[in-house]
A and B are shown apart, each in its own frame.
Chain A
């Protein structure tokens, strides 16, 4: 079955960097655009970034533009989110997701990132 598994979360100090990974299985990863979506504790969902199926196109929310970079390695069925210059307001559960507005939507279980000194 389709699976998306995030990893790499943890506690990091403000201003530092962290890289999240999302490993996919059960579908042809290289044919799907993939998203990162986050949810701060007790808050709603926030779309973060999107990368096209072949990695040629990236889009970002204004709140992370210039600090976060989305990338993928289709040979490893893996999506990444490089997060630099982290701020307290980046504290959230980060989900990777496929097709968030379509009928083939699938989400991982999320990984928690805590930015704190």
Chain B
């Protein structure tokens, strides 16, 4: 199972919006609603930001939103804050014998 493809880095200024893509296939991202997004600060465990493509867990800012079109899922961060600077990973259910896969990860830099 190959990792889902994400851009290595995305940057933006405070207050701007950025979008991170996560491209898979019809066997993972395109085939199921089970796509999630994680934020990871250095030395910390990943934190769930979005699940089931577009749902936010309780406590996560509404500046974070998710969507999906075909085999590509996206995470949008609106009104960028300094504390949003972190690594972001998508993940998807695959339905195969190795049923879960993560994306390659995207480093978000707040300029």
Nearest B residue to A60, CB-CB: B98
What are the interface flags for A11-32 relative to B under an 8 Å C-beta threshold, 1 for contact and 0 otherwise? 0000000000000000000000
- Interface assignment of B57: CB less than 8 Å from any CB of chain A: yes
Contact present for A101 and B89 (CB under 8 Å): no
Number of A-B contacts (CB under 8 A): 65
Using Cβ atoms and an 8 Å threshold, which residues of chain A touch B34?
101-102
- Interface assignment of B23: CB less than 8 Å from any CB of chain A: no
In the complex, A67 Cα to B8 Cα: how many Å? 31
Using Cβ atoms and an 8 Å threshold, which residues of chain A touch B36?
100-102, 105
For window 58-111 of B, CB contacts with A under 8 Å fall at 89, 91-93, 97-105
- Interface assignment of A68: CB less than 8 Å from any CB of chain B: no
Q: Name the interface size band of chain A.
A: 20 to 34
Contact present for B97 and A59 (CB under 8 Å): yes
Contact present for A109 and B45 (CB under 8 Å): yes
Using Cβ atoms and an 8 Å threshold, which residues of chain A touch B38?
45
In the complex, A45 Cα to B45 Cα: how many Å? 10
Using Cβ atoms and an 8 Å threshold, which residues of chain A touch B105?
44-45
Binding site for B on A (CB under 8 A): 35, 37, 44-47, 50, 59-62, 95, 100-103, 105, 107-110
